[in-house]
Amino acid sequence: MVDRAIKKSEFFNLFKIKNFMIFSVSQAFSLFGDKLDYMALLGMISFLGQKKNIDPSRAISLLSVVITLPTVIFGPFAGIFIDRWDKRKILIYSDFFRALLVGSIPFLIIKTLNLIYIYIICFVVFLLSLFFNATRSSILPYLVAKRRLLAANSFNNLLGRLATLLGILVGGFIVDWQIWKKFGIPYSWAAGFYIDAFTYWVSVIALIYLFARIKLKKINFEGIGGKKPKNFFNLILINLKIMINDLKKTSRFVFENSQVQIVMISIFLFVILGAAAMVLYIPIIQKENFKLGASGVGFLGTIGSLGLILSSLAYGILGYKLERRLVLIGSFFIFGVLTIFLSLVKNLPLVIFLVFLCGFLLSPIFVVQDTILQENVPEELRGKIFSLKEWFLHLFFGFFALVIGQLTYFFPRTKILLFIGILVTISSLIVFFVYPIKK
């Protein structure tokens, strides 16, 4: 049943919470810059392809590996530092250094024409993003009351999806806009990096203002023998044993808490579906069944994004009426069924409708995952759990993308997609009976 303490939707009440609105709007603005940055990277790689005969596909492929590595390598440990450091400083310094690094990319590329510097910068930027994103998720309970967490996550999800869609749609025009030369920017793609850096500065200013208004609980940390760590590397060296114990404590909490277990299982199902969409269904749209090319993929992606935006709004207003776990499990059950249909359907209008439904299901999944963790994970473990979530997502997405890609050598893409749809549907039913909804 729905929590009885939640008697009405808190969605529209969020507009009255000044601290929350400052935080949410500034982060949406920064997310818009991130998507613009991605479009600028593609434009920059195309520029280098012309200047140094670099293969764009290989460059983008290697870039994808580089931006995934920070989470895969440091994901399990990031939360340990997040829960022991001042969360305010993590957020402010992360955006401060990301602004400097992103803003330096055009200068380095124009002067050196060497992608290796960009790979290094991207690695550091996404390492900072790992700390920032896990901290951002863990800090929301400081900004709103517990009864408003679901509405707050829905609101942030709505703003984030709008910013993402706008960044992708507008980004292409911005990085191709030749008017930037009149402002002293010789290459239009460079403007994307400068605007992204500007959005980070906006976030830094907003965070400084915000944290002057609220207080966060500080966790005093003493190293082995009562020694306080002097720096990041000293913390690693003298407190390795504590780090291992923290990981054990986090793992024990996951295995003992059924709510968190459901979230982790849902992430497992999500990465399977995401990898299948990337590896299997995009080629089906581009070449095999529909032959729509890249523009067709972009069109369907926009349709899915519209569904996601609408569900963010709808679930933010009405989601308080629904039991969290039932929404999560039910969404994956329906997702599995839709995947089965997508593997069989060759009628484009029907595919468009199915893709819209898939997008509509995504927002409740994202919102419920974060809300369950924020409601059930104690403060001293919150950073660890959210960084573990990020690590789980990136590691297994890469793993399943690789495995599914290899299976295409032996089986048709539609058959593999059908199997995955059946697997997710059955898995959702199993989770439903293993973790019954308490009345």
State the pLDDT at residue 236: 55
Is 328 part of any domain?
Answer: yes
User: Whole domain around residue 268: which residue ranges?
Assistant: 258-439
State the pLDDT at residue 221: 45
State the pLDDT at residue 248: 74
Alpha-carbon Rg for the chain in angstroms: 22
State the pLDDT at residue 4: 40
Instruction: Tell which of 161, 188, 219 closes a domain.
Output: 219
266-299 pLDDT tens trace:
888 888 888 888 777 777 776 666 666 555 666 7
Is 81 part of any domain?
Answer: yes
CA–CA distance, 124 with 97 (Å, rounded to integer):
9
Asked if residue 320 and residue 183 are part of one domain, the reply reads no
Asked if residue 292 and residue 170 are part of one domain, the reply reads no
Contact 144, 14 (CB under 8 A): yes
CA–CA distance, 381 with 369 (Å, rounded to integer):
16
156-160, 259-263, 387-391, range with greatest mean pLDDT: 259-263
CA–CA distance, 53 with 268 (Å, rounded to integer):
39
State the pLDDT at residue 168: 66
Asked if residue 356 and residue 208 are part of one domain, the reply reads no
140-159 pLDDT tens trace:
777 887 777 777 877 887 78
Copy the structure tokens of residue 108.
């380095």
Asked if residue 262 and residue 215 are part of one domain, the reply reads no
Asked if residue 262 and residue 204 are part of one domain, the reply reads no
Is 191 part of any domain?
Answer: yes
State the pLDDT at residue 7: 44
Is 226 part of any domain?
Answer: no
238-253 pLDDT tens trace:
555 666 666 677 777 7
Copy the structure tokens of residue 405.
């890609």
Share of the chain above pLDDT 90, in %: 5
Q: To which residue do tokens 């069924």 refer?
A: 337
Is 249 part of any domain?
Answer: no
Q: Is 377 in a helix, a strand, or coil?
A: coil
Asked if residue 392 and residue 297 are part of one domain, the reply reads yes
State the pLDDT at residue 222: 46
Residue type, 288: E
Cite the DSSP H helix spans in 18-148: 18-52, 56-82, 87-112, 115-139
CA–CA distance, 41 with 46 (Å, rounded to integer):
9
State the pLDDT at residue 223: 45
Question: Above 60 in pLDDT, residue 424?
Answer: yes
Check residue 354 and give left, alpha or beta (phi > 0: left; psi -120 to 50: alpha).
alpha
Is 59 part of any domain?
Answer: yes
State the pLDDT at residue 1: 39
State the pLDDT at residue 338: 92
CATH code, domain carrying 281: 1.20.1250.20
191-238 pLDDT tens trace:
888 888 898 998 899 888 888 777 665 544 444 444 555 555 655 555
State the pLDDT at residue 3: 45
Domain count, the chain: 2
What's 229's DSSP letter?
P
Question: Above 50 in pLDDT, residue 5?
Answer: no
Q: Which of 62, 129, 103, 161 is nearest to 366 (CA)?
A: 161
Residue type, 408: T
Copy the structure tokens of residue 222.
């003493």
* Beta-carbon contacts of residue 255 (< 8 Å; ≥ 6 apart): 261
Q: Which of 317, 11, 298 is nearest to 165 (CA)?
A: 298
Share of the chain above pLDDT 70, in %: 79
Rounded to two decimals, the pTM is: 0.64
In this prediction, residue 422 has a pLDDT band, given cuts at 50, 70 and 90, of very high
Cα three-residue angle 322-324-327, rounded to 5 degrees: 70
State the pLDDT at residue 295: 54
Asked if residue 100 and residue 209 are part of one domain, the reply reads yes
Asked if residue 103 and residue 179 are part of one domain, the reply reads yes
In this prediction, residue 127 has a pLDDT band, given cuts at 50, 70 and 90, of confident
CA–CA distance, 294 with 390 (Å, rounded to integer):
28
Q: What is the mean pLDDT of residues 324-331?
A: 84
Mean pLDDT for the chain overall = 77
Asked if residue 269 and residue 121 are part of one domain, the reply reads no
* Beta-carbon contacts of residue 227 (< 8 Å; ≥ 6 apart): 238
Asked if residue 213 and residue 264 are part of one domain, the reply reads no
Contact 151, 364 (CB under 8 A): no
Instruction: Tell which of 189, 219, 249 closes a domain.
Output: 219
